[in-house]
Structure 1
Amino acid sequence: MDSYWTLLQTRGVARIMSAQLLARFPFGMLSLAFLLHIERIHHSYGAAGLVLAATSVGQAIAGPLTSRWMGVWGMRKVLTLTLVVCASALGVIAFAPTLPVPVYMVVGFIGGLSSPPVQPAVRTIYPKMVNSRQLTPLFSLDASAQEVIWVVGPVITTFVATQISTVLAIVLAMIFLVVGGIWFISSPEVGRVRIPRSRRKIGAVLARPAVLLATVTGFLLVGACAAVEAGVVATFGHDSPNSGIVLAIFSVGSLIGGLAFGHIPIGPWALARRMFIVFLGMAVAAASLEFWWLALSLAIAGVGIAPALAVMFAIVSASVKFSETAEAYGWVGTGQLIGAALGSAAAGFMIDAFDAPGAFWVAIAFAFVGFLIPVVLRRAHPDLRGRDASPIPDTEPIQAVRP
């Protein structure tokens, strides 16, 4: 814990971490908010799943694309443009009169396409703010904080959407997006760090095994979490506070796991071990949908989430050049966002067909594959024990001057 406190005392770290957390917070809310909002309007989880799928397609395109744009036009210009468009799309979904499902899908696609690339921006900034020995603990701390996005965000959404209004849940996400986005864009560090223009074709960074491993595993991890969230809501119904309480306990387990184990040295089996904890907890959860059983089993599953994310961030950082970091994290972020959307969408269809247990089956499948991938691809997992997790410096030919 002392290492985390020291990090937060480092100039600018607490500010930039808080700003990016607030700016990214809506993306832990919107999948569930859209699911509940469209289901309320069209009375079908399947229709809501189609809107989430369209949103995920936009996010898939946006992640690496807007990240590369930051190396061309600068972070602030790209972040500002995407923030304005994304907030406008959310406003249409929240306030427009009842629209046909295909129209909601188009608006969702635009919202996903304009998702501000805050995650790749901040991951690129971090190595410039701390020394190499502090970078891995910083990723661990950030991963713990990120759990507020993916787990606490749905808790807030559930309470607001079920107890007050689904429209207000989307509006609340818009407020977080705008306020957090302005705070992050105005941060001095965003103006000081210049991302070099990448010389390689878009997508080439996925040829690096560690980046592909982190992208695929992140997709499966967040997809499992999203399916669990939908399953918990379906278990207790729209009007019960129990779903919010269970998801809050889920988040507490993740936060504890991140702070307690996130600083452990990262060996080649690190990601597989952490994903197995997630799978185990979710598999146990499906045995009974009683309140206390779900609370306990999901707390166990949560213990593995933040440490797994910390491993993904660190192995990507240690495997790419600095000019490639933004795009690499763009792909990782895309994987996570698609996982959130498709996990909710698949859970929605399974809920329609098999009630709440169907969502937990989806979560177990995602988590199990998420455990198998790092086992099968363990040779792609760098061993960072005793190694620097900073990006590889960019080099270029230098013209020599002959005497």
Structure 2
Amino acid sequence: MPNPYREIFKARGAKGFAAAGFVARMPMAMAPIGIVAMLSQTHGEYWLAGAVSATYALANAFVAPQISRLVDRLGQARIVVPTTVISVLAFVVLVAAANQDWPIWTLFVSALLAAAMPSIPAMVRARWTELFRDRPEMNTAFAFESAADELVYIAGASLSVGLSVALFPEAGMLASTLFLAFGSTAFILQRSTEPRVRPVDQGSRGSAIRLRPVQIITLALIFIGATFATTEVSTVAITKELGQPGAASLVIGVYALGSFVVGIIIGALNLKTPLQIQLAIAIAIIALTTLPLLVADTVPLLALAVFVSGVAISPTFITAFGLIERRVPEAMLTEGVTWVMTGIGIGMALGSFAAGWVVDAFGAQSGFLVSVAAGAIALVIVLLGMRSLATADCDTSACDAAAVPAE
């Protein structure tokens, strides 16, 4: 049996844009924590570091879909070049402001401007879609991208913090900025695989978030994002309470490992089950596997429970993005994918806040109650939306019917 991952990389240009896209997306994980690591050392105030990082992360979550909408309308190169330049320059100013002790407002303004960073994962997936639309290889390509996202979040955050602590406070942010600049440049220079701009027809007008499937999947993934952000926060709190704070990074790494391994396996299979059913099953597994976390009161038990709770994350993302590819007009694909990623980011921010509050109020183990609640809500959302998610593949007439704002 041929290796499905080897097969997708036989496509002309696939290795190049996948490698460049991997490098260019490193700031997704490096920048938010890099800002915290930098400012906490240069200014000694965690509230300031957290506020500037949150300003960047939330602004990017809301700006990125608008940038992706322009990408769909005008093409990747025409939009990515100016937005990346703005983002790189803003990050440089942010680093300089931290190093030179410029006024506090310069930190927030530069963080806001840095949020112009485009969604590289969405554009990489758009290129895979251009290569393998309506072919079995699409599932494998999306599985590879979900695994790549996992690796970025595993390696990026650790690299950013490690550089800042080992070298100098700004080192993590400088590395993140260089990854963005060089990775994006290499990505955009590969014009042969850039998706062609589709004409905007009646079914492709307005924003992708007006489409019911995008609304359902984005809302569900807000709560999925909350489950794994909550798991990370609660893990840190429990390991500290158990007197083994150093075990937190190992446990969190095991969490991502479970998702990575299962995602790779799923990508190698050509499953015939409808994607909306696969999504419901994956989210049901996430919801169910949050329950053992409530009784994991030792580090080994916690590591095991966290590993199990992470196994369905990549399959959830694979099927969610696969549904977006099938339920959104071609002229709105990049924006549709970006909205889903925005949902994940918002969920992580809200989950971290909620888990932190619960831990402070009720104890470390109670933080996992947020995961349980979020997983259950995500499952209810998908089950209630199954009819819309099962709509026939999105041609113009189908999307006209779907493009009705939610009441």
**TM-score for both structures, normalised by structure 2:** 0.81
> Residues 369-399 of structure 1, C-alpha deviation per residue, up to 9 Å, x if partnerless?
2233212222222289xxxx7x64799xxxx
Match of 2:125 among 108, 123, 126: 123
> Residues 87-141 of structure 1, C-alpha deviation per residue, up to 9 Å, x if partnerless?
23333444423577765444333222x0213233223222221252222222222
Quick one: structure 1 residues 109 and 348, their matched pair in 2 at CA, closer, same or farther if it must change by over 3 Å?
A: farther
Give the CA deviation at 1:37.
Answer: 4.5
Match of 1:260 among 261, 265, 270: 265
Taking the TM superposition and a 5 Å limit, the aligned residue runs for 1:343-358 are: 343-347=351-355, 356-357=364-365
Quick one: structure 1 residues 47 and 296, their matched pair in 2 at CA, closer, same or farther if it must change by over 3 Å?
A: farther
Match of 2:206 among 202, 208, 224: 202
Taking the TM superposition and a 5 Å limit, the aligned residue runs for 1:73-84 are: 73-84=74-85
SS for the counterpart of 1:129 is helix
Q: Which moved more, 1:214-223 or 1:87-96?
A: 87-96
Gapped regions of structure 1 (runs ≥ 5): 396-403
1:221–1:367 CA contact under 8 A, matched in 2 = yes
Give the CA deviation at 1:308.
Answer: 0.4
1:220–1:366 CA contact under 8 A, matched in 2 = yes
* 2:248 match: 243
Give the CA deviation at 1:313.
Answer: 0.8
| 2:142 counterpart of 1:135 | no
1:281–1:301 CA contact under 8 A, matched in 2 = yes
| 2:188 counterpart of 1:181 | no
Give the CA deviation at 1:177.
Answer: 1.6
* Inter-partner Cα distance in structure 1 for 2:21 and 2:381: 29
Quick one: structure 1 residues 343 and 393, their matched pair in 2 at CA, closer, same or farther if it must change by over 3 Å?
A: same
Give the CA deviation at 1:311.
Answer: 0.5
* Inter-partner Cα distance in structure 1 for 2:358 and 2:43: 17
* Inter-partner Cα distance in structure 2 for 1:40 and 1:355: 29
Give the CA deviation at 1:360.
Answer: 4.0
* 2:404 match: none
Match of 2:333 among 325, 333, 336: 325
SS for the counterpart of 2:324 is helix
Identity of aligned residues (%): 22
* 1:401 match: none
* Inter-partner Cα distance in structure 1 for 2:340 and 2:248: 29
Give the CA deviation at 1:327.
Answer: 2.0
SS for the counterpart of 1:132 is coil
Paired residue type of 2:340? V
> Residues 211-253 of structure 1, C-alpha deviation per residue, up to 9 Å, x if partnerless?
112212232223332333344445556x965333222222211
Q: Which moved more, 1:329-338 or 1:364-373?
A: 364-373
* Inter-partner Cα distance in structure 2 for 1:319 and 1:111: 31
RMSD: 3.4
**TM-score for both structures, normalised by structure 1:** 0.81
SS for the counterpart of 2:8 is helix
* 1:30 match: 31
| 2:219 counterpart of 1:216 | yes
Quick one: structure 1 residues 215 and 166, their matched pair in 2 at CA, closer, same or farther if it must change by over 3 Å?
A: farther
Match of 2:156 among 153, 156, 162: 153
